Structure formats: C-alpha cells, structure tokens
C-alpha cells in the first residue's frame, strides 16, 4: 500500500515540522513565551499546515488527473483497425486495464518477473497462458495491440506514481522549510493559522456545492451521450419500454412514458393512503391529544419513518403482496395475478409516508397562532368547526407543501418498488397489475454493468436526470410554499 505510506510520510514530515518550529521559536524567545506574538503551538501548527496541506492537495489532484493522462496516452496506441465492429474504444480500454491488472497479479504471485511483464516482444500466447496460470481473468479479446497497450499502461502508471511520490514529498519538505524559516517571535502565527483553518472550513462547506455539481455533471454528460445513440423524442414520447439485453442490437424500445405512469400511479396510491391518515393523525395530535398520548404516539409514529426502506420492500414482497393475492387474486376476486403490483407497492409506501405527512403537518398546524382559534371559539364554534374552518384553511399552504415533499419522496423511493411493484413496464389502469417505475428501471439497467457504452445502460442516466429534475422541482416548490407560509405568521 504505497499510497498509505506516502500519506503517512507526509503526516510524519508535518509532525516533524511542528515540533521543530515550536522548539525554534521557544529557543529564539529564550524559553520566555511572553515575548512571542502567538502561543508556541501556533508556530508549530503553521509549519505543519504549510507542509501537509499543499502536499496532500497535490496528491489528490495528481491521483485524479493521472488516469486521464494515461488513458489518453494508451488510447492513442490502439489503431482504429484493432477495434472490432462489435466493440468500441471504451471496451478495448477496459480490456487493457484488465490485462494490466492481470500482469500485476502475475508479477505479485511470482508467475512472471517484472522484466518479462515489460517485455514488448513477448509472445501473446505465452503471456496469456502465464496470466491464466496466475489466476487472472483472460478473455479472448487480448490481442497483440491490447497487450502492448496494457504494458504501456503499467509503465506509465508506475512511472506516474513514482514521480508523484517524489513531487509530493518534495512539496511537503519545502512547505516544512518555509514554515520553519518564517518562525520568528514577532511572526503573526495565530492569524496565519486561523486563516488557514478558515479556508479549510470554507472548503468543507463547498463540498455541498461540489456534490450537486457532481450529480448534475455525471447526469448531464451521460444523458447527452445517451441521446446521441437514441433519439430524445423516442425517449420522452415512446409508449413502450422493451430494452434488448443482447447488447448493441439497436432494437430496444426505451420510452419513458410507461415508467412515468407507473411511478405516478404508485405515488398516487401511496398518497391516498398516507395523506388522510397522516393529516388526521396530525390534527388529533396537535389539537386533541393529551400530552401523555402525544408523548407516546408521536415518537411511535416516527419509528415508521426510521425503518430502512429495504424492510418495507421485504414487507411488500412477502407479507402484503401474498395477503392481497388472497383477497384479490384468482381465488378471491380474480383481479390480481401476482403479489407484486401497483397496489402492493403503493400501500406499503403509504405506510412509510404516514409519519412524514403527520410530522410536517403537525409542525405547521402548531404554527397557526392560538389567537385565531380563540377568536373562532369566541364566536361559538365547536373545536372541530374551528379546525375545519379556521385552522386548516390557515395551514393549507403549509400542508400542501408537506404533501408535495411526501410526493417527491414517493417518486424517488426505490427499494419498495424494486421489490414490490414488479418488473413489467406497462400502461394500464388496473391498480392490481404489476407495473414498474423510473427508480426500479435505473436499478435494473445499471446493476452489475460496467460497460457504459450501450444505450441500454446509458438510459439509466437519462432516467436519473428525469427523476432528479422532477424531485428537485417538487422540493423547490414545496420549500417555497412552506417558507412563504411561515413568514405569514412570524
């Protein structure tokens, strides 16, 4: 694990700089810390900071940049003629990486010496035989250009790592020296260190922006790639979802409409379950319940929100589904063919959303000023009349916001629909039919697939993009409504 060692070495240099700088400033001050501008620890921290942070920053950037450079260099080595019709440059490059891993493995298990692994004139059949002896996965795709590229890949990579280690250590040492040189009793060490810490705090806060940026970029780039292979109009307006699994057959139907319909249908069923129950529970808890009932029932309902979704998924698949089949299946009413259906997933998702609706509505109902209730009582209204005609209308925008948030949750929910809703994409009105959703199809198109060249895999990114835009829109709208409403009574 040379990377770990490099990291520890940088930290060791920083620690050394810390001790030396602190000792130096104390010596200069004649062991009298009163003559120093800052506490001695700040002089040490300054040197340590200057040695560790730039070095680690360079390390991270190098690690990110090197694969790019190596990939490009290796990619140029493979002639256009070596790429078969049924393949692509990306697949060949994956093969190159696998071959390079195989060579690494062969060297580390002793099946091959380093020189043999680098020998560019090596016979392909000999090398593949040795690779499979060493336990590496060798496919028929390893050809002479691939092997050459793999060897070059290894050479470039190991050279890159060596240069990187040297550069990083050099920067660490230079930083340590710089910090050490600066260390004088009148140096404003505390201010410098605090500025550094502040920069770190800002960097930490910016990770939220980077994450959003990462999400958007990874979705956008792959979606554009997808639309290059598959027409966007067919994707958005196609009414049939039938991906072919053979690979690049080009015969896949990838229309999003059946998936969107399944998603909305299941979400509507879930909301029909969750909204009345959640809303009435919230009204009872905030307006009627004694404090003892409230102290018991509120956390109990919130337990439902803390249960992982995989549990609900299993509950849908193994408990609710078979139960519904007993009632609505062929032995009962004959509406339902199998346990996985819109109803199964919707019902269970509704249970999951109850606490979501009830907690949010509870907060919002509590925020309605007491004076409005008192006014209503003063006019002779009963409690339920007050709630129906005064409290709820006043809280309505907030409640709508809560329902929108719950809807966005339902649309983005994955495990319940993967396990409970079935896999068939269809446009049907029967809630006892199996249907599938955007999230479930993202999972089924991407699991276990490391090849992102085919439209069948890339479609998942377009689906993800659609999902992201819809949920983001709902969230922004909901937050806007809730905030607007809160301001009204504050």
Partner 1 sequence: MTDASMDNVPVKGSLTTVDARTKKRNAAEKRFKAYGLVAIMIGLFFLVVLAVSILRSGLPAFTQAEVRVEFTLTQAQFDEAESQMLKTKAYENFFIAALQSQLEERGLDVSFDPAAIERLLGKTGSTIREYFRENPDQIGTPVTFNLAASSRVDGYFKGRVSRDTVVDSRFLEVTDLDLVDALADAGIIITAFNWNFITGSDSGVDNPGGAGIGVSVIGSFFMMLVVLALSLPIGVAASIYLEEFAPQNWFTDLIEVNISNLAAVPSIVFGILGLAVFIQFMHLPQSAPLVGGLVLTLMTLPTIIISTRASLKSVPPSIREAALGVGASKMQTVFHHVLPLAAPGILTGTIIGLAQALGETAPLLLIGMVGFIARAYPEGVVSGFIDPNSAMPAQIYTWAARADAGFYEKAWGGIIILLIFLLTMNIIAIILRRRFERRW
Whole-Å CA distances, 269 to 276, 293, 304, 366, 404:
12, 29, 18, 28, 14
Residues from 4 through 43 that contact partner 1 (CB under 8 A):
4
At its nearest, how many Å lie between partner 1 and the CB of residue 160? 14
Residues from 61 through 80 that contact partner 1 (CB under 8 A):
63-64, 67
At its nearest, how many Å lie between partner 1 and the CB of residue 382? 5
At its nearest, how many Å lie between partner 1 and the CB of residue 97? 7
Interface size with partner 1, residues (CB under 8 A): 92
CA distance 105 to 231: 43
Residues from 299 through 318 that contact partner 1 (CB under 8 A):
300-301, 303-304, 306-311, 313-315, 317-318
Under 8 Å between Cβ of 41 and 25: no
**Tokens 């004076």, residue?**
371
Span from 8-16, 79-87, 105-113, 197-205 in contact with partner 1 (CB under 8 A): 197-205
- Our measurement of the distance from residue 56's CA atom to the centroid of its chain's CA atoms, rounded to an integer in Å, reads 25
Span from 122-130, 144-152, 230-238, 294-302 in contact with partner 1 (CB under 8 A): 294-302
Among 443, 257, 414, smallest CA distance to 349 is for: 414
Q: Is 43 exposed, middle or buried (0-12, 13-18, 19+ CB in 10 A)?
A: buried
Cβ proximity to partner 1: between 151 and 439 the closer is: 439
Residues from 132 through 161 that contact partner 1 (CB under 8 A):
none
The binding track of 379-418 with respect to partner 1, each residue x by CB under 8 A or -, is ---xxxx-xx----------------x--x--xxxxx--x
Residues 6 or more apart whose Cβ sits within 8 Å of residue 409: 353, 356
CA distance 439 to 345: 13
CA distance 62 to 154: 17
Among 367, 353, 388, smallest CA distance to 484 is for: 367
Cβ proximity to partner 1: between 89 and 198 the closer is: 198
At its nearest, how many Å lie between partner 1 and the CB of residue 474? 9
At its nearest, how many Å lie between partner 1 and the CB of residue 476? 7
Among 423, 89, 416, smallest CA distance to 243 is for: 423
The size of the chain, in residues, is 490
At its nearest, how many Å lie between partner 1 and the CB of residue 125? 28
Phi, psi of 455 (to 5 degrees): -60, -25
Residues from 202 through 221 that contact partner 1 (CB under 8 A):
202, 204-209, 211-212, 214-215, 218-219, 221
The dihedral sign for the CA sequence 252, 254, 257, 261? positive
354 touches partner 1 (CB under 8 A):
yes
Cβ proximity to partner 1: between 214 and 250 the closer is: 214
Query: Quick one: angle between helices 144-182 and 40-77, nearest 10?
Result: 160
Count of other CB atoms within 10 angstroms of residue 83? 14
Among 226, 271, 262, smallest CA distance to 474 is for: 271
At its nearest, how many Å lie between partner 1 and the CB of residue 413? 7
201 touches partner 1 (CB under 8 A):
yes
Residues from 164 through 193 that contact partner 1 (CB under 8 A):
190
Judging by DSSP bridges, how do beta strands 241-242 and 253-254 pair with one another?
antiparallel
- Interface residue with partner 1 among 338, 452, 453, 486 (CB under 8 A) is 452
At its nearest, how many Å lie between partner 1 and the CB of residue 318? 6
Cβ proximity to partner 1: between 119 and 444 the closer is: 444
Span from 59-67, 148-156, 371-379, 395-403 in contact with partner 1 (CB under 8 A): 59-67
């Amino acid at each position: 694990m040379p990377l770990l060692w490099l990291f520890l070495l940088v930290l060791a240099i920083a620690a050394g700089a810390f001790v030396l700088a602190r000792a130096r400033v104390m010596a200069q001050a004649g062991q009298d810390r009163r003559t120093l501008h800052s506490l001695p620890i700040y002089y040490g921290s300054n040197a340590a900071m200057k040695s560790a942070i730039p070095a680690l920053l360079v390390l991270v950037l190098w690690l990110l940049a090197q694969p790019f450079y190596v990939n490009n260099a290796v990619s140029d080595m493979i002639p256009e003629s070596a790429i078969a019709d049924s393949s692509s440059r990306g697949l060949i490059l994956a093969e190159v990486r696998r071959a390079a891993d195989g060579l690494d493995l062969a060297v580390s298990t002793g099946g091959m010496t380093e020189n043999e692994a680098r020998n560019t004139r090596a016979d392909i059949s000999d090398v593949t035989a040795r690779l499979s002896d060493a336990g590496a996965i060798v496919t028929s795709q390893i050809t002479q250009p691939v092997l050459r590229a793999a060897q070059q890949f290894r050479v470039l990579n190991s050279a890159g790592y060596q240069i990187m280690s040297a550069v990083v250590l050099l920067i660490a040492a230079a930083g340590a020296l710089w910090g050490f040189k600066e260390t004088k009793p009148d140096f404003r060490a505390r201010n410098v260190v605090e500025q550094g810490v502040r920069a770190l705090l800002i960097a930490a806060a910016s990770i939220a922006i980077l994450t959003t940026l990462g999400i958007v970029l990874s979705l956008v780039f792959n979606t554009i790639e997808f639309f290059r292979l598959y027409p966007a109009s067919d994707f958005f307006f196609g009414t049939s979802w039938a991906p072919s699994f053979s690979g690049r057959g080009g015969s896949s139907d990838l229309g999003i409409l059946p998936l969107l319909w399944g998603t909305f249908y299941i979400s509507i069923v879930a909301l029909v379950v969750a909204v009345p129950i959640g809303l009435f529970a919230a009204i009872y808890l905030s307006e009627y319940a004694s404090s003892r009932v409230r102290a018991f029932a509120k956390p109990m309902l919130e337990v439902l929100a803390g249960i992982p979704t995989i549990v609900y998924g299993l509950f849908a698949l193994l408990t609710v589904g078979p139960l519904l089949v007993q009632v609505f299946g062929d032995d009962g009413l004959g509406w339902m063919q199998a346990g996985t259906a819109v109803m199964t997933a919707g019902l269970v998702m509704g249970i999951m959303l109850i606490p979501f609706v009830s907690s949010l509505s509870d907060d919002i109902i509590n925020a309605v000023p007491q004076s409005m209730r008192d006014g209503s009582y003063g006019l002779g209204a009963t409690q339920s009349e007050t709630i129906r005609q005064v409290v709820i209308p006043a809280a309505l925008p907030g409640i709508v916001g809560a329902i929108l948030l719950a809807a966005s949750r339902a649309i983005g929910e994955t495990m319940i629909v993967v396990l409970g809703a079935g896999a068939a994409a269809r446009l049907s009105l029967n809630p006892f039919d199996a249907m599938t959703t955007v999230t479930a199809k993202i999972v089924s198109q991407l699991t276990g697939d490391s090849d992102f060249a085919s439209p069948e895999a890339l479609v998942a990114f377009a689906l993800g993009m659609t999902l992201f835009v819809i949920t983001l829109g709902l969230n922004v709208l909901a937050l806007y409504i809730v905030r607007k409403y809160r301001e009204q009574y504050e």
